[in-house]
Amino acid sequence: MRPLSFWSGIVCAMLCGLVDPVWGYAAVAVLSLVQLAMLGGSGGSVFLLIHYTAILTYFSIAPAMQIANDLEFWDAGVMRTESHTLALTLLVLYMAGVEAARLGVPDGPVHHPGRHDKQLVGVAHPLLLLLSCSLAAFASLFIKPELNFVARGIVGVGGEDNVPIDFIFYSTLPKLVVLLCFVALAVHAVRRRTPWSWCAAGLAFALALAAANPVNTARQVLLIGLLPLLIHALGRGRRWLLAGAIFGAIAGLGPMLNLISRGSMWGEELRTFPFSQDFDAMYVVAGILERAPIPDLGWGRYLLSAFSFFLPRDLKMFPDFDPLGWSAILGNFSQSNLSLPPFTTAYFDFGLAGPALFGFAISAGFRAVDRAVDPNRPVSSTYLAALVLLAAYVPFMRGPILGWGPFMVSGLIAAAIAGALSSRARRMPARTLRHGLPGA
């Protein structure tokens, strides 16, 4: 029933988009809601749940209302209807590829409460965990300085604009390391239910609040730092609550924190969802498709350049094949750190087949992640890494915006350290000593 409703919805969305892209994006919103309603069963795919929540948030309601109101972002003017229709087509093809990888295969293993060893105790030495993770985070900044968060503002004599400012204290690695420590210690506290474990989780939560002081990257901190905890707590149970929490974090809390940080620090104004510049992904896609000449197929070079996300532009694998670096793009948009959803970069490489193939590959890969997401599992590095990858999918879909790569890398580093310091104390089976009988 669910596959039938999806493929019927895809056809309707495409037909509506050919008439008017506003209707097409509205149909995608309805399709996402229907799919979310059908993903409520235990053992269903957590990846699909996050996928359709991200589609509903970023790629359906927001672009429909923006197009209907002829909004302008980044001083690039109003896009043509044909450009919005092609952008919608790429999104629909990506969604089709995601679902195609699920045909004929169950979404995930059925959840069996109590299947795992109840003696699993979670994280060992909570204070050691916090200390070692913090040291590793700050050491990484000196080893790889480009992982540090770079903010833009007005500094120096004469009020020069857009001068990069390095914020060591507000850098991505310490933020995510502390947040992932909170995830691990909160899971540990729920499992142990002792005063000591709750105190350790409370200390980590206080540090997380300080680390998440909003500096232009609120959504990434929330999604990759705290979403793993929600996946652990709600991923197999109250699934609608998880979908609502993701939607609220992106559509509500993220822009609100960005408004506070940008307004108080840089004097920028930011309108609320869906007219905020946090929800301009499909508008940017349409602008790139309209204003930049489509080059010869790169056969992977655009994707490889896009995936070297943690490198400065001049150190990318193929800087000449970076769509966001083309002069036609930089000359029409006011900022050079524009986001571009990966399925659009796949289109530059492989034509219309690119988004579908990319969606198929991503969905197939997340099957293994889905199998690792079980709230009854111990706090291991593999389990935490799976949660981080699932959480990173939301900003990944939005596009490799400023800070996405460092946040995901730092989240994985934190998950690996937290898992290495976790213990799986098991009750040793009693050894039965068999005494041999004396020989005759």
Query: Measuring CA to CA, how many Å separate 320 from each of 294, 298, 301, 356, 396?
Result: 14, 10, 9, 25, 22
Would the pLDDT of 425 be above 50? no
Global confidence as pTM: 0.83
Given a contact cutoff of 8 angstroms between Cβ atoms, the answer to whether 180 and 388 are in contact is yes
Hunting for tokens 């923006």 — which residue is that? Answer: 66
CA distance 312 to 221: 21
Tokens describing residue 102: 């699920």
Buried b (16+ CB within 10 A) or exposed e, 235-266: bbeebeebbebbbebbbeebbbbbbebbeeee
User: How many CB atoms are closer than 10 A to CB 82?
Assistant: 12
Taking the CA of residue 267 as centre, how many other CA atoms within 13 Å lie in the half-sphere pointing to its CB? 5
- Predicted pLDDT at 217: 58
Residue 146 and residue 201 in contact, taking contact as beta carbons nearer than 8 Å: no
Q: Where residue 366 falls among pLDDT bands split at 50, 70, 90? A: very high
For 275, the 3-state DSSP assignment is coil
pLDDT for 116 beyond 70? no
**DSSP string spanning 21-62?**
HHHHHHHHHHHHHHHHHTT-STT--HHHHHHHHHHHHHTTHH
**Rounded CA gap, 241 and 103, in Å?**
26
Confidence of residue 119 (pLDDT cuts 50, 70, 90): very low
Report d(CA 168, CA 165) in Å as an integer. 10
Write down the residue that tokens 């193939």 correspond to: 357
Report the range of poorest mean pLDDT among 46-55, 74-83, 93-102, 115-124.
115-124
**pLDDT computed for residue 39 by the predictor:** 83
45's CB contacts (< 8 A; 6+ apart) are: 39, 102, 107, 108, 366, 370
Find which of 15-29, 136-150, 380-394 is predicted with most confidence, using mean pLDDT: 15-29
pLDDT at 414: 73
Given a contact cutoff of 8 angstroms between Cβ atoms, the answer to whether 196 and 151 are in contact is no
Q: Give 312's Cβ-side CA count (13 Å radius).
A: 8
First to last CA, the chain: 73
pLDDT in tens, 228-276: 888 888 877 778 888 888 888 888 877 776 666 666 555 556 667 888 7
The fraction of the chain above a pLDDT of 90, given in percent, is 22
C-alpha closest to that of 110 among 170, 203, 42: 42
Average pLDDT of every residue of the chain:
77
Q: Percent of the chain, pLDDT > 70?
A: 68
Ramachandran quadrant class, 373 (left: phi over 0; alpha: psi -120 to 50; beta: rest): beta
Q: Are 321 and 305 in contact (CB under 8 A)?
A: yes
Beta strands at 422-423 and 122-123: parallel, antiparallel or unpaired: antiparallel
Q: Look-up: residue for tokens 């900022």?
A: 335
Range among 38-52, 62-76, 124-138 with highest mean pLDDT value: 62-76
- In 110-149, where do the E strands start and end? 122-123
Residue 355 has pLDDT above 80, yes or no: yes
Find the range with the poorest average confidence among 49-63, 114-128, 307-321, 395-409: 114-128
Query: Residue 10's closest CA among 89, 117, 122?
Result: 89
Question: What's the rounded Cα separation, in Å, for the pair 15 and 430?
Answer: 67
Q: Which two tokens stand for residue 383?
A: 């389990």
Diameter over CA atoms, the chain? 104
Contact 180, 415 (CB under 8 A): yes
User: Hunting for tokens 């149970």 — which residue is that?
Assistant: 237
What distance in Å separates the CA atoms of residue 48 and residue 367, rounded to the nearest whole number?
Answer: 10
Average the pLDDT over 378-394 and give the result: 86
Q: Which H helix or E strand runs over 153? A: strand 150-155
pLDDT band of 347, cuts 50, 70, 90: very high
Backbone angles phi, psi at 232, to 5 degrees: -65, -45
Give every CB contact of residue 301 below 8 A, 6+ residues apart in sequence: 317, 318, 321, 349
Give per-residue pLDDT as tens, 121-173: 556 666 666 666 666 666 766 666 655 555 444 444 454 444 444 554 446 66
Q: How many CB atoms lie within 10 A of CB 314?
A: 7
Amino acid letter, residue 214? P
What would the two tokens of residue 437 be? Answer: 């009988």
Distance, CA of 217 to CA of 112 (rounded, Å): 38
State yes or no: pLDDT of 73 exceeds 90: no
Residues across the chain: 440
